[in-house]
Chain A
């Protein structure tokens, strides 16, 4: 069975469509943003409603250094993708590894903060509403950082084994969009948890 073809004579129109990869990533970012929005709304709704236990103003310290680390990793991944597009694979790999390092430092910061809160201040996810909303929101973000680091790590393994070339720049860029999103979410979380919530 062969299908009859439909071709209607047409004047020469320019025909270009948006690329699939970035578009799908934008959609996924929209879906993720909706998830974070609900968690942020819950956090704001429950500010000051804890019946007992440590309050945010007593125990939270602003993680300035770790925030700077995470936000600057957006810059380093941008440079990395830019270099890959020009075909400079080695410098791409270096900037990419720096991005991973900055993300890992941020995660270590979250771990340290949680350790302090749990063991020194006695705040767990069960303690009160602040604990529930705080660990959920910051934890959801930390989970996304972890997923991002795993994805970035996979790319760096490919880079080290010599499988990343100039033509992969677009894919690296799609991944970098996710990483930028994770950073932007941190700005929102930071404002809500450490500025408004305190």
Chain B
């Protein structure tokens, strides 16, 4: 290992052409570039999914609206759900994991750089395939048809009888292909975290982000594969004339639900555990305190990972299961609230008595704490089978899971964008616009998703394309739709801020937050080799040790 610094001759190097630059990005195996590609790709699809959500909400703004046809409405909610889960949330999770994990554990790259590139391009291809269906998916309604069977594609809607043409096949294949990419990246993350840590970084001294991403990757390996299996069965049914989900030949539509939700529920935790990871890095730095209860945080995370695999059928209470099954899934669902509650208390205890700096990343994380708590509480309500019989498949459920995914997950992801933007770009974002984004988004989020609970309680079912006036739903739907425009404005400010700061922002320096984990020890943006010398650590906060040699952490851990 050479310790000499590498100097690049600046003079005499011609500016690279656009084609050369693009070629470099397309053929890259560098974990930082692939991470950024994942993130940019996710932002593109966030725009697509956001437009679809806006179309849904405009259609529902008043009763008997005819902004889009019922057929288009079905395609919009199917594409919105599929896009947001598989082509926004998952790529964001993997993008940040790709970028941050090797830097935080003091490695020069992921364990398998080429597998990493392969996985990204599989995911990218999957998303492209899904959106090509708008042009190429010859379906029931003539040429050009996107999938319209809902994002969980219940049987028998997906059978050849009810879904002619190829729109459903685009859904199956795009999700299948991106699933291969997800499993590839998950394997890579596990191998990287377990096999590439720098000297001294035992499992107990890893940053929490690494621990939480390890759990997330384990869940991906075990949860995406059942979906792959179920998709293969659906392909057998559709193309080879099989009977897995064909009730006329003795097959079962309910077993598809089981197979889908065996994937579908752990998926929620695949998305939320990285959100926890960001909160666990951002909250301590902006509270100027070490994280409270590190071992308990790790234990609670791993515990959530295990329990999350045994709660799937709480999505199926309304289907009618045996009382034994109902009881089991009610209890396991309630049980998962315990480790989650422990984590919330740990974050609060981290902030308690700290010197809190309300910069944009911290604002998003504090909002996350409040909103995720409420999302968890409605989750406990819906986890009780009798309550679910009343409100299952209503807008109450939609409000609940958007509270989790937007109020919990997306908020921390925005926080992570602002927190690591200086590292990724080398420039500081604009704090005023960051705060504007935060407040617009908080107002929009609460307008939309607080008030969405109410039509649900009043009996408005999900997935209806219009409704009768005079049921008491009108005003609530209007408020919900108005909130969407605040959120869209917030996202536009966010994108504008990123673009402006990338070109015009102030230089950030290597450590703008006075933080403690290894990624802040290298330059911003980091060189392609990350660290000139592979670091060596003795505690969970190696940069604290470096900055405070008189009072290092390793004396206490």
Contacts and interface: CB of A to CB of B under 8 A. Distances in A.
A195 interface: no
Given A27-B221, A35-B228, A5 B250 contact: no
A49 interface: yes
B196 A17 contact: yes
B195 interface: yes
B78 interface: no
B526 A3 contact: yes
B221 A42 contact: no
Contact of B527 (A3, A10, A24): A3
Given A8-B537, A31-B222, A38 B521 contact: no
A47 B537 CA distance: 56
A129 B255 contact: no
A154 interface: no
A23 B259 CA distance: 27
Contacts of A17: 194-197
B187 interface: yes
Interface stretch (B11-19, B41-49, B538-546): B538-546
Given A2-B532, A24-B191, A27-B191, A37 B226 contact: yes
A42 B542 CA distance: 50
Interface centre among A30, A34, A39, A128 (most CB of B within 10 A): A34
Contacts of B224: 31
A125 B242 contact: yes
Given A10-B538, A24-B112, A42-B244, A129 B546 contact: no
A8 to B, nearest CB: 5
Interface in A116-158: 125-126, 128-129, 132-133, 136, 140
A117 B104 CA distance: 57
B225 A136 contact: no
B191 to A, nearest CB: 5
B230 A38 contact: yes
Contacts of A42: 233, 244, 255, 259
Interface string B1-37: 0010111000000000000000000000000000000
B195 A19 contact: yes
Interface in A76-124: none
B386 interface: no
A126 B244 CA distance: 10
Nearest to A48: B250
B240 A126 contact: yes
B207 to A, nearest CB: 14
A196 interface: no
Interface string A171-193: 00000000000000000000000
B251 A6 contact: no
Nearest to B8: A1
A32 interface: yes
Given A6-B537, A32-B225, A49-B250, A126 B241 contact: yes
A101 B214 CA distance: 40
B536 A27 contact: no
A7 interface: yes
B247 to A, nearest CB: 11
Contacts of B554: 8
A8 B538 contact: yes
Nearest to A7: B536
Given A3-B526, A6-B535, A125-B236, A23 B243 contact: no
B522 A3 contact: yes
A53 B249 CA distance: 11
Given A17-B195, A20-B111, A125-B241, A31 B229 contact: no
Contacts of B64: none
A136 B543 contact: no
B229 A35 contact: yes
A28 interface: yes
A166 interface: no
B221 A31 contact: yes
Contact of A23 (B7, B195, B222): B195
Contact of B112 (A20, A38, A45): A20
Given A1-B523, A132-B236, A45 B252 contact: yes
A30 B187 CA distance: 10
A2 B244 CA distance: 59
B200 A5 contact: no
29 contacts: A2-B6, A2-B7, A3-B522, A3-B531, A3-B533, A5-B3, A5-B531, A6-B518, A6-B533, A6-B536, A8-B542, A8-B546, A17-B194, A17-B196, A20-B196, A24-B112, A24-B191, A32-B225, A34-B223, A34-B226, A34-B229, A37-B226, A38-B225, A39-B233, A125-B240, A126-B243, A128-B249, A128-B250, A129-B249
Given A46-B250, A140-B232, 15 more contacts: A2-B5, A3-B527, A3-B533, A5-B532, A6-B537, A6-B542, A8-B536, A8-B542, A10-B536, A18-B194, A20-B191, A20-B196, A27-B191, A42-B233, A125-B241
Nearest 9 CB-CB pairings of A with B: A2-B5, A34-B225, A38-B229, A5-B533, A126-B241, A132-B242, A6-B535, A3-B522, A27-B187
Interface of B: 3, 5-7, 111-112, 183, 186-188, 190-191, 194-197, 199-200, 221-226, 228-230, 232-233, 236-237, 240-244, 249-252, 255, 259, 262, 510, 518, 521-523, 526-527, 530-533, 535-538, 542-543, 545-546, 552, 554
Interface of A: 1-8, 10, 13, 15, 17-20, 23-24, 27-28, 30-32, 34-39, 42, 45-46, 49-51, 125-126, 128-129, 132-133, 136, 140
